[in-house]
Amino acid sequence: MLRKILVSALFILFLFPVIDVSAKDYVVRKIINGNTVQLESGEIIKYIGADVPDMNKKEGPEFYARQAVNYNKKLVFMKKVRLEFDAKRKDENGNMLAYVFVKKTFVNAELIRNGCARAEVTPPNLKYKGVLLDAQKKAMADDKGIWAEKKQDSEKYYVGNKRTSAFHRPSCKGVEKIPDKGRIVFHNRSDAIKIGYVPCKTCKP
């Protein structure tokens, strides 16, 4: 009896082999912005760890936003991509969070390396933290893209939020919400950016 069950199971596996979902390629059909795309399936994918300039500001696109969109299009539009996931798979809007690869090109890091994005390494998605920060160091050293715009320090210090990996002006309302254990003080913008913190989108330090 047991032998018959095993034979039947092997026969079913032969007819319906197990599919390796992680090896599946997806095709990008639409570029939404510098770090977000839509697949042919309709799913929205946001790149983990790559914070790009905003295209939709009321006063117009932020510095280098258009270039980020164009470079993202060059890298992935209508191409087959491979997705890797981390501990957190979706953002607050329900979009999938992923590391994106086109053959051997790591798209998230490539955008950062070419100055189209800042490294945003926020827990729990830290799988490629070192790679993304190294890419940013290279872009900063070469004054590429967003780093060509030299922004001077306008505060004596800045306050970082360890949970969100954002840094703020001391007067920002967001600072009041950061618990003491979750704060980190930076003496300049550069120190914050080097370890993966991004400027607060409200106070814009």
- 18 and 29 in contact (C-beta within 8 Å)? no
Give the model's pLDDT for residue 193.
87
Of 63 and 32, the one with more pLDDT: 32
- Phi, then psi, of 159 in degrees rounded to 5: -115, 125
Give the model's pLDDT for residue 11.
46
Cα–Cα–Cα angle for 143, 145, 147, rounded to 5 degrees: 45
pTM of the model: 0.75
Task: Give the model's confidence band at 30: pLDDT under 50 very low, under 70 low, under 90 confident, else very high.
Answer: very high
In the predicted model, what is the mean pLDDT of the chain?
Answer: 88
Burial class of residue 195, CB neighbours in 10 A (0-12, 13-18, 19+)? middle
Q: Inform me whether the pLDDT recorded for 121 exceeds 70.
A: yes
Could you report the per-residue pLDDT of 51-110, keeping only the tens digit for each? 999 988 777 888 899 999 999 999 999 999 999 999 999 999 999 999 999 999 999 999
Q: Inform me whether the pLDDT recorded for 3 exceeds 80.
A: no
Give the model's pLDDT for residue 63.
87
In whole angstroms, what is the distance from residue 49 CA to residue 47 CA? 6
Task: Give the model's confidence band at 10: pLDDT under 50 very low, under 70 low, under 90 confident, else very high.
Answer: very low
- 150 and 179 in contact (C-beta within 8 Å)? no
Helix or strand (DSSP H, E) at 10? helix 2-15
Give the model's pLDDT for residue 6.
47
Q: Pick from 55, 33, 62: which is nearest to 46 by CA?
A: 33
Give the model's pLDDT for residue 196.
85
Could you report the per-residue pLDDT of 144-196, keeping only the tens digit for each? 999 988 788 999 999 999 998 899 999 999 999 999 999 999 999 989 988 88
